[in-house]
Every structure is written in C-alpha cells, then in structure tokens.
Structure 1
Amino acid sequence: MTYTSKNRWADYWVLALSVFLVFCLVFEPYIELPSLVSWLGRWHPLVLHFPIVLLLMAIFLGLTGKKVPNLLLTVGVLSALVTAVSGFFLGKETPVKGELLFWHQWLGAGVALFAALWYALSQVQLDQKIYTKGIQVIMIGLVALAGHYGGMVTHGEDFLALPMEKQQEKIPENPIIYKDIVSRILDDKCVSCHNPNKQKGELLMTNLAELFKGGKSGNTLVPGEPEQSELIRRLHLPMEDEERMPPEGKTPLNDNEIAILERWIALGASGSQRLDELDKNESLVALVKEMMVPDPVEKWSKLPTVADSTLKNLSSDYLTIERLASNSDALSVDIYLAPEYDPKPIMNLKRVAKNIIELDLSGLPIGQDEMTLVFACHNLEWLELDKTPLTDREIENLINLKNLSFLKIYETPITDLSISTFKDLPNLKSLYLWGTDISDRALAGLRKSNPGLLINNGINGDTKAFFLATDSIK
C-alpha cells in the first residue's frame, strides 16, 4: 500500500471537512450557529445537485472497470462534503427535526463520508479492490435514499404518490367547518412547510391545538379577531414580501379560501361547528358551498360526446357555439337576432341539448316552441331570457332545470305567478328581473324563502347599466 497523492491540499481539505462533518453530527444538540453561518446553509438546495452528478459519473466509471480521473473524484468528494455541511447548517434552522429531515441529513452525510473513504482508498491505490466496488454500490443506494427523503421534506410525504392516491375525499353534505373545510385548505397549501418533519417558524399546522399554540412570530389564530391573527396577516402581504405565506414558488390560496379562513376565525375558530349550525345569511355558508361544488371539468365528464363537425354544422353568422373548456363536451350557445327571425336554428339544437350548459336567447321573439328546446337542456346552468315576450305560462316549465344557477329574465311580461317557479329551482343563485310585473311583496317573499339567492330588480343602477350596455353590444 503506497501513498501516491500529488494534491496534499485536497487531502487536508477532505480530512478536515470529514472530521468537521462528524463533529457536527455528533455534537449537534450543543452547537449554536452564528446568523451568517446559518445563512450559508440556505445555499444547500442550490449546490446539492452538483456533487450528485459528479459522484454518479465517477461511480459509473468505477463500476465499469474504467479509471476514475483523480480530478473528477476530488471535486466530487469536496463538493459532497461541503453540501453535507451546508445541509447541517440549514437543518439547524428547524428547532424540531422530524423523522424525514433526520434521515435525509444522516443519509446525505453518509454519501459524503463514504465518498471521502473512497477518495482515501484511491490515494493509496486501492480503488480497484472489491471493497471499493462495494463502497460505490452503497453510495448509489445512499444517494437515492437521501434524495427521496429530501424530496419528501421539501414537497411533502406524498410527493411521489400516484395521482389517484392524492385525490381528496368528497366534502360531506353537512361538513364540520374545521375538519372538512379549513383543514383541507391548510393541508393543501400550508402543511408542506409546517409539519413535524419541516417545522418552519416553529409552527405546526397539522391540528387545531398546534394552530392555537402558534409559532415564534406570534398568535397564528386569535378567535374572533382575524385581523389580529398572524395567519391572515401573512396571507395578505404582497407577493414580494419575504414574510408572505405561502412563499413565492408555492401555490397561493385563492380569494375564496382566504375568505373562508377569515370568517371561520371571526366566528370563533371552532373545531366542532357544522355547516347547518350557521345562520343561512352567514357569508361563510355561501363560501363553503362554493367550495363544495365539484370541478366543472369533472362535473361535465359524463356529457355525451359532440364532434367538432356537429358544432360547425349547427353554427351560423347568428348562432355561435363554444366549448366551455378545452376537450370538454360542455357547450355555451349565443344566438343573435337576424334581420329575418327564423326559429329553425334554435330548434336544430335539440340534438346537442344535453350538452348545453350556457344559453343566451336574450332579445329574441321566442315563444312556446323555442322554449321546448330550453326545457330539453337538462344540464343547463346559465340562461338568459331577458327582453323576450315570454310570459308566466312559458316560464313555469323551467322548474325542470334542476342545475340552473343563473337566470336573466328582466324586461319581460312575467308576473307574481312566476315566483313559485323561482322558489322551486334548488340551485338558483342569481336572478335578474327588473322591468317585469313582479310586485315588491312577491320579491320580499322570494327573498325570505331563499335567503341565499341574489335578486337584482334594478335598484342598483350600476348593475343595471352594466347589463344594458352588454345587451346593446349584442
């Protein structure tokens, strides 16, 4: 066994870094890092890929019987040791290390130390021995496991789970607000950084008790006072603010999710309250119900297939048909008043009636015949019948459109008789009906029976002007 190293400086650095890494691992509980040294640890995610590539290249050459260039091995080992040390520095920023971070740190250190052992053997010309091959095989396993645990620390334990395994359960009809709604939002957008394995800011968000406990930045939740809750404050910070949560690069909460968290906290941040225990006029009810609506693409997945050629044949200069989503069979239909009105193009739509989700017949001289097409659109969600000559007699059959959520029927001759039809539309959310013969008394009764229904009868001049302007464009 002959020592043949020509790069004594590299030998000293490999030895020094190896000893320092072992020291850090053994005496970790007693080590306090200066702020500048802790900051150096944040470079760990940027530099870790470099030694992995170099070491895997060297391992490939070694296992295939080729000579491993000394420079390649030297740079690979030194960069692996630096990466492991920086990972230790970064890990010190986490007060409570979970199992994932513990194994990632030790497996990463194992890669660096085995690489250092390989380097030492190569300097005494033992790098072609069978036990050196064993070290190379072990390093492959360590690299794979360290990378796997690192990915789970960064992205969550289900990072490599199959898509079907990550699907969330359907929200119950009468959900517990915290368990089924709030917890779902936090699990999706926040828990990846605030869990036992990655406890950023000393904050856990995996259960309600930990949320009330808070982190090092203050009170995460203040029941009844969302404006005093650190969670809400950080959600509203500008994207470029380093305190904003989730940080840049992570999927932010949408407006509906933030509003749900705010109202839940404002109502006391209860862990047991159910949806049906809230007042019907409470805004949180509407927010939760909006979240409970299934993804439109999924909802429309069972619609009959419609060929592009069919849509092209049904379209004309005065009738446009569009798919509501790419590769979706859900259709939006707009019909415009031609110089000479002909109901035939409307009646031809019966062949795709089950696919029509949105239909605009506003301003057309339609009657009972054309309404048979409307009644055949069982999946209709959006309907515009404003400025038409329709009466209560034609409107009463809308009761069969159980999915209808939006109805414009202003400036038509309908009367109080149509109120019973509106009451029996279970999913109706928005109703526009100024310029009709419906009395204020009948409207008051409708509002009382359906407090979640948005009724616009022209009192809001801005809203009315908006729709009138839109119709003039059409």
Structure 2
Amino acid sequence: MISLILLQATAPPSDWVLFWGHFHPLIVHLPIGFLLIAGLLELDRLTRRNSVSQHTITLILFWSAVSATMACLFGYMLSLGGGYEDDTLSSHMWQGIGVAVFAWITWAVKSENLGRIIPAASVLYLPTLAVALVLLLSAGHLGGNLTHGSDYLTQHMPGPIRSLAGLPPKLPELKAEPITDVNQAMVYQQIVNPILHTRCIQCHNADKSKGGLRLDTPDLIKKGSKEGPVLVAGKGVNSKLIKVCLLPEEDDHHMPPKGKPQLDESQISLLTWWIDQGAPFNKKVSELAVNDAIRPVLASLGGGGPVDAGGNAVAAKGPAPESPVLTMKVPAADPKIMEEVKKTGLLVLPISKEQNQLEVSAVNARSFSDAQATVLPGLSNQIVWLKLSDTQISDATLAQISKLKNLQKLHLEQTKITDAGLKQLKGLTNLEYLNLYGTSVSDAGLAELASIKNLKTVYLWQTKVTENGLAMLKKALPNLEIVGGVTEQAVAEFAKAGQEAKTAEEKKN
C-alpha cells in the first residue's frame, strides 16, 4: 500500500512507461505457462515415476523466474496509469512479486550448482514450487478482477454451482423500466443509466475505475475522473463523456474501447441531449426541452408516441419525416480527400452504413481555422452535418461552406462569424438546422436567413439579435423554431404590437 501512495504522489507517467506497461498482459502468460508445466512434470514424476531430465526442469524454472520478474516490472508500469481499485491492486502486486521471488528460489534449489554447495537445499524444492503455484493462481485471479471486475468468473455461474461454492444468489441484472409514456419517463433512471450500464460500467465500476472514473452512481458521475469532470452541464459536445465516444474507434482514447460493444448514434444523441439539458438526475422528459433532432429518438423508446417541443405528447402521425439529403444517392467520398480532411484534426463519420453521407466534426480540433477550411468543398456532395463550434473560423470559412450543397445541419456557435458571412449561406437550400449561439450575429444577419426556406431551427443564445429582428425572421419563415435569444411569446407579442400599430396608423390615415 505504501508503494501505491508513492505512485500517486509522482508525476504522470511518460508514454514510454505506459507503452511498456501495456505489455504486461502479454508477458504475464509466460510465467503462468512455465510454472504450470514444471508443476505438471513434477506431478507426473511423483505419481508415475517417469524420469524427467533435471536440466529440462531447471531450464523451465529459470525462464519462469525471468518472465515473472519481467511481468512484475511491466505490471508496475501499467499500474502507474491508474484506474484500478487500490486494495485489489496492492494484493495483486505483492502476490505477483511473491511469484517471482519463489520462482527464483525454486530454480536455485533445483539447480545442480547450489545442490553441490548446500546439499540440504533440495528439500525446499517441492514446497517452494507449491507456494509459487498457489501465489500464481491467487495473483492471476486478482489480475482478472482488476481487468474484468470481481464477478467476471462468477457472474453467469448457475445456481447449483453457486450454492456449492458458497456464493450468494445471483443478483438480477439491471433492467430498464419499460417506457409506456415517454413524456413521463425519468430521464436518468429510464434512459441514461441503462445506456451507461450496458456500454460503460464494465470499465467504470467499484472494482475497476478506469481513469479514476466511476459511472455507477449519480454522485460519482458528477465527481468525474482523476482529470476532472466528465460532464459540462449544458454543453454536451464539450463534455469528455461525449468527446471520447466521438473519437475514431482506432484511437487509444476512444470509449468504449475497440472490441467492446459501441454506443450507436441514437445513444450518443440521448446522452448529449441529457447533458445539454443540464444533466439532471431527477427529472422527467416532460420537464426538459425537446428539439427536432431528439424528438424522434425519444419517440422510439416507448409506446408514448411522438412529443412536441415542450415534451408533451402529440397525436401519432407516422414516423417523423426524414430530410431528403439523408436518403438521396450520393457518390462515395474520395479516400484521399477524406484523409486530407482528417489531417486537419476534424472527425469524419458516416451518417449510416447504407449511405455515403458524412458528418464532419471539430469536437477535437478547436484550432481549426479558415486556412484549413479549404479542404471542405472536396466533400461537397457528402457532408450533410458540419460541426465547427468553438473553432477559430471566421466569415472566410463560410465561403467554403457555401459550396456544401447538401448541408442539412450547421454548428457555428462560439465562432467569429458575422452578419456579412451569413450572406454566403443563401445558396444552402437544404439547410434545416443552424446554431449561432455566442456569435456577434445581429438583426442584419437574420435578414440574410429569410431566403433559406427549408430552415427549421435556429439557435440564437447570446447574440445581438433584437425582438424586431426575430419578428421579421418569424414573419418570413412562420414555421421556424427559434431557440434562445428572445422568447417565442415575446416575439409574438412584439409582432402583434407591430400589427396593431400598423392598423391604427392605417385607420388614422
């Protein structure tokens, strides 16, 4: 335990240390094999009186000691990365060291050279070999607990065998409460927690907290990892919990790890929406804002039917209409151009396996700039979702974006774009969603959007728009959903007041 405390007090390990540490699972199988072979050969010699070459046994024991020592060294390096339960790690470490020590003692007393010097040493051979094997089995069990959880071997053990082993009855697996009315569903308990349980908790639980993160209780989710919070309430795309899911699967930081069941698009959308709404743990769907993007996903969860913008049930009218750009036939993207886009730091993700449409995101490329944006038109047919929020782009990038003729969703929040740049978006006839949160856009810029007839949702928090500008845009696009900025009621009242003033003026004249 003292060693663990010292480890935690040191600086973060270097890449070289962690690189070699990841060889521990490979090397650790060598002493297991060597020691088991030595034990089986000795058992065969004792029970069947078969002769085994003394040199053969000695050679096997030598390599078991060498490989056990290497496994200890690499295991130590791996432990520096953290994310393991301290008590289990401490026991595993000391038992592993014990395996190496007794493997060396066993080799030494079996060695012919030591036998000549200390004839009585041979009596220690079988006891030390037995101790090494017992420690090997125990250390291996704890290693499995660290990697897969303490119940990895027993979680599917049938009832009769559990009784014989003295284990308590199997606990029922977490089953999400059925959602009969999506509006009344508890967001965390019935939607979020089941996703975390099936995709994340295997590596982030009481027995294995990878990265110091546990996701099995609300308090621990709020606490985050050793590197800080994983949730930024109100900002899903800025939350580490979402960022790691959006990384390429080949990336070492992608979660869940490659080979594990992955989150699908709807699950990531639900988690992002939950965080965008402040990551509440005790609210129902009806208490949160529901936008066009998440509405069909929520409706698919249960029998409650679709929900409106306020989270209230509406009459079922069949499946939500899908944007034509998501189903139209477009050619596959040029692999070379895709590589050029990826080199800028942007993520390039397919919208579906059946189509060639793409989502391009700067979630991990905050330094993305106007100079790099020149690569985007190379995917003008394929890009339908573009997320450039919190990047360094300005109006010059909008000139490149204007060439993406199939663009449906565009995120420009927290960027340097201005009213002048919005003029370039007039030709994006398929644009349905536009996020301008935290920009310097004003009424003049909104006027430029009036010609985009397919526009359905605009986000305008913390912009320079006024009630007058919103009313004019609403008049041009009556079905447009405006989120943030000024309330819908204020816009309606302003428009009504304007109409009344106009009527009064006409009567006066």
The two structures have a TM-score, normalised by structure 2, of 0.49
Structure 1 position 71 matched with structure 2 position 59: yes
- The aligned amino acid for 1:122 is K
Letter in 2 for 1:111: V
Counterpart AA for 2:200: C
The one-character-per-residue Cα deviations of 1:439-464 (angstroms, maximum 9, x if unpaired) are: xxxxxxxx9851574366xx988899
- 5 Å-filtered alignment, 1:114-193, equals 114-123=102-111, 124-125=114-115, 131-160=124-153, 161-162=155-156, 167-173=173-179, 175-193=185-203
Q: Deviation of residue 272 (structure 1)? A: 0.8
* Structure 2 gaps, min length 5: 46-51, 159-169, 307-311, 330-509
Deviation at 1:140, TM superposition (A): 2.8
Is 1:454 aligned to 2:319, yes or no?
Answer: yes
CA contact (8 A) 2:296 2:320 kept: no
Identify if the C-alpha distance between structure 1 residues 280 and 262 changes in structure 2 by more than 3 Å, giving closer, same or farther: closer
Q: Structure 1: any 5+ residue segments left out of the alignment? A: 1-21, 293-425, 430-446, 467-474
Please state how far the C-alpha of 1:188 moved relative to its aligned partner: 2.2
Q: Which structure 2 residues correspond to residues 399-414 of structure 1 after superposition, within 5 A? A: none
**CA deviation string 1:32-90 (max 9, x = no partner):** 68623343222111211122111111111223334452211111111111101211121
Would the aligned equivalents of 2:35 and 2:133 in 1 still touch at CA under 8 Å? Answer: no
Asked whether 1:211 is paired with 2:199, we answer: no
Q: Are residue 82 (structure 1) and residue 76 (structure 2) matched?
A: no
Tell me the distance in 1 between the aligned counterparts of 2:268 and 2:9: 41
CA–CA distance in 1 between the matches of 2:231 and 2:134?
Answer: 43
What aligned pairs does 1:32-431 form with structure 2 within 5 A after superposition?
35=14, 36-65=16-45, 66=52, 67=54, 69-94=57-82, 97-123=85-111, 124-125=114-115, 131-160=124-153, 161-162=155-156, 167-173=173-179, 175-275=185-285, 277-278=287-288, 287-288=297-298, 290-291=300-301
CA distance in 1: counterparts of 2:198 and 2:120, whole angstroms: 48
Shift of 1:189: 1.8
Deviation string 1:386-426 (CA, Å, 9 cap, x unpaired) is: xxxxxxxxxxxxxxxxxxxxxxxxxxxxxxxxxxxxxxxx7
Q: 1:276 to 1:52 in 2, by over 3 A?
A: same
- Deviation at 1:209? 2.6
Give the Cα–Cα distance (whole angstroms) in 1 for the partners of residues 305 and 233 of structure 2: 33
Distance 1:185 1:127 in 2: 62
Q: 1:185-236 deviations in whole A, cap 9, x for unaligned?
A: 2232222333344333333323223333333555411111112111112211
For the 8 Å contact 1:280–1:452, the answer to whether it is kept is: no
Matched AA of 2:212:
E
**Aligned-partner SS, 2:237:** helix
Question: In structure 2, what is the Cα distance between the partners aligned to 1:455 and 1:97?
Answer: 46
Structure of greater Rg? 1
Alpha-carbon distance, 1:27 to partner: 6.6
- CA-to-aligned-CA distance 1:276-326 (integer Å, 9 cap, x gap): 54578776565356456xxxxxxxxxxxxxxxxxxxxxxxxxxxxxxxxxx
CA contact (8 A) 1:101 1:197 kept: no
CA contact 1:189–1:253 (8 Å) conserved in 2: yes
Work out whether residues 224 and 265 of structure 1, in 8 Å CA contact, stay in contact via their aligned partners in 2: yes
List per-residue Cα deviations over 1:164-195 (Å, max 9, x = no partner): 85743242446432233322222322223333
CA distance in 2, matches of 1:28, 1:115: 26
Sequence identity, in percent?
A: 29
TM-score scaled by length of structure 1 = 0.52
Partners of 1:133 and 1:176 lie apart in 2 by 61
Q: 1:214 to 1:56 in 2, by over 3 A?
A: same
Amino acid at match of 1:69: I
**Alignment partner of 1:258: what SS?**
helix
